[in-house]
Homo-oligomer: A and B are copies of this chain.
Amino acid sequence: MSNINIKKLAQELNLSTATVSRALTDNYQISSETKRRVLELAKSLNYEPNPFASNLRNQKSKTIAVIVPEVANHFFSLAINGIEEIARKRDYHVLIYQTHENSETEIAFTLKLLSGRVDGILISTSGETNNKQHLIEASQSIPVVFFDRVYEDIEGVKIITDDYESSYQAVQHLIEAGCKKIAYLLALHNLSTGEKRLNGYLTALKDNGIPFNKNLLVTSTVDSNQNYALIKNLLANNKPDGILSSIEELAFPCYYACRELNLNIPRDIKIISFSNLDCAPLLNPSLTTITQPAFEIGSEAAGILFKIFDKKCFEPNETRVLKSVLIKRESTAV
């Protein structure tokens, strides 16, 4: 092994050791001109990388982690399938970890992953609290791509859907079907995702001259029994004629509460939900949904993660927005 190391190359070229190291590994962040200068000098001085350090640096787990709130949620199981399709082509394994919307669990596990057991992380955050430090730390340590449930104020690549527009369109659809008293089942309100869905609802009401009624806003919890009680209470005491549910988990409780209170869907009340439930067309009545392109979100997110691995061109703070589709079914029929 020659006596030339990265430090000496850096001194000679008046560059930082980090820059030289990145230039030698063909990192996208380094200009072609700098790469050329570094490689020329390295060659002329017979620089050979320290094989041990190089091995360590190139050690790949060939594994990526997906962190999601729940695997039983159809949006996430489809997104995971999209991620796996891309990973399979690259011969990578995909580890799944569910946080059950618990931020402590998310924090503990995210930080644990930084010890090198995976090459990168795809995460849809729990949104239980506003604690984001672990996400910032993770994205500064290893490649991370955020999808669907994101914080806009954290730097990084994000793949989301048109939440504001979808929500707006859903309210418009309910109004066109004759609804005048539209309730909103709120979730994810700590996240940009939830904020945009709520804003779509509020703006659509405003644009249609319907004043906002805070009694029609139900803030969901992580406890499904409590959510059922909240929805039943809404239907019994402030009966709306339309409901927009901002997450799929709240659609079934609406159906059960309507049965319990002898309310006919869609005659007495119309229901629409953000949802990727595969049984939506088979329900009684079939459920109108805002269906996110879940599989595509997963494959898009994984595709970018592999671009980061390959040090190919990508925008480090890019947000890609995919379009959801409103699928009209019996639950909002006139």
A residues with a Cβ closer than 8 A to B are 70-72, 74, 77-78, 80-81, 84, 88, 93-98, 100, 105, 108-109, 112, 117, 252, 255-256, 277-279, 282-286
User: Is B71 a contact of A96 with CB atoms below 8 Å?
Assistant: yes
Chain B contacts for A286, CB-based, 8 A: 284
The 10 closest A-B pairs by CB, nearest first: A284-B284, A72-B77, A71-B71, A96-B96, A279-B279, A95-B95, A282-B283, A255-B282, A71-B77, A93-B109
> Per DSSP, are chain A's interface residues mostly helix, strand or loop, or mixed?
mixed
Question: In the complex, are the beta carbons of A96 and B95 less than 8 A apart?
Answer: yes
Within 8 Å CB of A97, what residues of B?
93-96
Measured between beta carbons, the chain B residues less than 8 angstroms from A277 are 279
A278 to chain B, nearest CB (A): 7
**Bound CA–CA A280/B96 (angstroms):** 26
Can you report 14 A-B residue pairs in the complex whose CB atoms are below 8 A from each other?
A70-B77, A71-B96, A72-B74, A72-B78, A72-B81, A77-B77, A96-B98, A117-B117, A255-B282, A256-B282, A279-B279, A282-B284, A283-B283, A284-B286
Task: Report the minimal beta-carbon distance from A319 to chain B, rounded to whole angstroms.
Answer: 27
Complex: A94 Cα to B117 Cα, angstroms:
14
Docked CA distance A84–B71 (Å) = 12
A105 contacts across to B, CB distance below 8 A: 88
Closest chain B residue to A117, Cβ basis: B117
Smallest CB-CB separation from A109: which chain B residue? B93
Q: For residue A94, which residues in chain B have a CB less than 8 angstroms away from its CB? A: 97
Given A279-B279, A283-B284, 10 extra CB contacts under 8 A:
A70-B77, A71-B72, A72-B81, A84-B100, A93-B108, A96-B97, A256-B282, A277-B279, A279-B283, A284-B284
| Closest chain B residue, CB of each to CB of A96 | B96
**What distance in Å separates the Cβ of A146 from its nearest Cβ neighbour in chain B?**
20
Interface core residue of A78, A81, A108, A286 (most chain B CB under 10 Å):
A81
Cα A167 to Cα B72 in complex, Å, equals 26
Contact A112 B93 (CB under 8 A): yes
Residues in B neighbouring A95, C-beta threshold 8 A: 95-97
Contacts of A284 in B (CB 8 A): 282-286
In the complex, residue of chain B having the shortest beta-carbon distance to the beta carbon of A255: B282
A277 to chain B, nearest CB (A): 7
How many angstroms between the C-alpha atoms of A98 and B71 in the bound complex?
Answer: 11
A81 to B70, CA, bound (A): 10
- Complex interface: chain B residues within 8 A of A256 (CB): 282
| Cα distance, A76 to B156, chains bound together (Å) | 33
Closest CB-CB distance, A258 to chain B, in whole Å? 11
CA distance in complex: A97, B93 (Å)? 8
